[in-house]
Amino acid sequence: MSGKNNIAAYDILKPSWYVNQMKGWSFTSYLLLLFGLGVIAGSTVTQPITFIAIMTMLAGMLGFTTTISITNTKPLNGIFGLVSALIYIYVAFTAKNYNDIILQTTYIVLLDIPVLLIPSWATNVDKHIKKLTIKGNLKKTLMNWGLTALFFVVVLGVLYAWEHGYSDSPRPFVDSFAATIGITGALLTTLRFRDTYYFWLAQGIFSIILWGITAYQGGANWTLFLTYILYLFNDLLSFFDKNIAWFHTKTVNS
């Protein structure tokens, strides 16, 4: 690793790096962040305060902040994402949503470790956004979507087969389907495809279903259910907020 990268890797441990990454977000994103943190904290204090409840709140706050930063092309992955994912893994294990553990591990590998090792990876994201659909190139478009679909089907098959056949999870299909969508979305985010937000939107919906069922069955509190609703609102920002680059590159970079 070069000296420049060593300096960058050290800088990620400084509070100033996080402050800088939180600058330049859209106004709507800041409002959603404040609203979301309030909802997560409020939902926690209205339920029995236990160790798992506090861990769920911390994971929700860190994870929600990280997802908004990714939406604004200024990722706060790295330490924020790593800590959040590790807590989510613990919560998912206690809830028996085992494929969510694999999903969170995937987030660590694809979204957090690159920032920890090469923080410059998290800069100028808006300059590198691309699409699976290539205008005027049907062959390339079909290949991109075909490979994405193949990856999705293979991952879903593997996750469902192991969780249904070798675990005591009471929700193997919903857990596997939600995890597969998230893993596919994480891969597309790493590759800078804007189409990732179609998967994040779908993953948000299925995560709401997963953690709603889990909470209803007594496997978790309702904080994660509400957190994933907030994630869904964040996903919608990428489509409708013209100050966010994923689908409005010309507007943001003009």
| Higher-scoring residue by pLDDT: 121, 134 | 134
Extract the tokens encoding 140. 């390339």
The answer to whether the beta carbons of residues 208 and 233 sit under 8 Å apart is no
Q: What is the pLDDT of residue 121?
A: 66
Question: What pLDDT, in 10s, does the model give residues 176-206?
Answer: 999 999 999 999 998 989 999 899 999 999 9
DSSP state of 222: S
Q: What is the pLDDT of residue 2?
A: 41
Domain extents for the chain?
3-253
Question: What pLDDT, in 10s, does the model give residues 78-125?
Answer: 788 889 999 999 999 999 999 999 999 999 999 888 877 776 666 777
The answer to whether the beta carbons of residues 190 and 180 sit under 8 Å apart is no
Q: What is the pTM of this model?
A: 0.84
Mean pLDDT of 208-231: 92
Q: Count Cα atoms within 13 angstroms, Cβ side, for 57.
A: 18
